Amino acid sequence: MNEKELTEVAQNELDRILGFFPRVDAKASVILAVNTGMLGFLASRLPTLSSLVWWEIALCLTTVALLGISLWFLYKQAFPNVEGGNASLVYFREIANKTEAKFIDEFAKQGARDHVNDLLGQAWRNSVILKDKFDYVRKALIFLALAIPPWVASLAIFALKTAAATKQPGQP
């Protein structure tokens, strides 16, 4: 493979990896919407705390804790560790640390093989970041799923408590 072909292959590899980032971010957005919707709906149905016994409060707090953990993993997914790429002429953070003139000069002076190595280094680094993001989304989804049973049970309890509190005297 000649230098031009190698450069094209390396660029395609980096582009392919970068193409997966919107997919993981879209999944995270859906999980975030479900988490916040569940928390909001639960809060909107919460009866007075004095009407709840300890285990009903514990069940509700379990839901909130599981959704909180899910939200924590979504936060980690949204802000992954982006360190690395030292001296790269491809990585935006390293480019931004240079002056415009210095970047242009260094980019123009690099050899074809150096550019290929930089592209492949970025493909590897972005793969590490992408793996972490997908792992965090998976964990967020697991904790969301674990939160569903106590959430449903909490809502059922809240409905019963609210119905009992609003029942008129003399009604069955």
142-167: b (≥16 Cβ within 10 Å) or e: ebbebbeebbeebbebbeebeeeeee
The mean pLDDT value for 47-63 works out to: 94
Task: Express each pLDDT in 59-84 by its tens digit.
Answer: 999 999 999 999 999 999 999 998 88
Instruction: Flag whether 166 is in a domain.
Output: no
pLDDT value, residue 117: 94
Closest to 37 (Cα-Cα) out of 61, 73, 70: 70
Instruction: Flag whether 95 is in a domain.
Output: no
Instruction: Flag whether 167 is in a domain.
Output: no
Query: Looking at this protein, which amino acid is placed at residue 80?
Result: P
| Contact by Cβ (8 Å): 74, 26 | no
User: Model pTM?
Assistant: 0.87
Instruction: Flag whether 97 is in a domain.
Output: no
Instruction: Flag whether 99 is in a domain.
Output: no
Query: How sure is the predictor about 168, in pLDDT bands with cuts at 50, 70 and 90?
Result: low
| Contact by Cβ (8 Å): 28, 137 | yes
pLDDT value, residue 68: 98
> Cα separation of 124 and 137, whole Å?
20
Residue scoring higher pLDDT (127 or 166): 127
The position carrying tokens 């300890």 is: 54
Tell me which residue range forms the domain holding 120: 3-79+113-160
Structurally, how many domains does the chain consist of?
Answer: 1
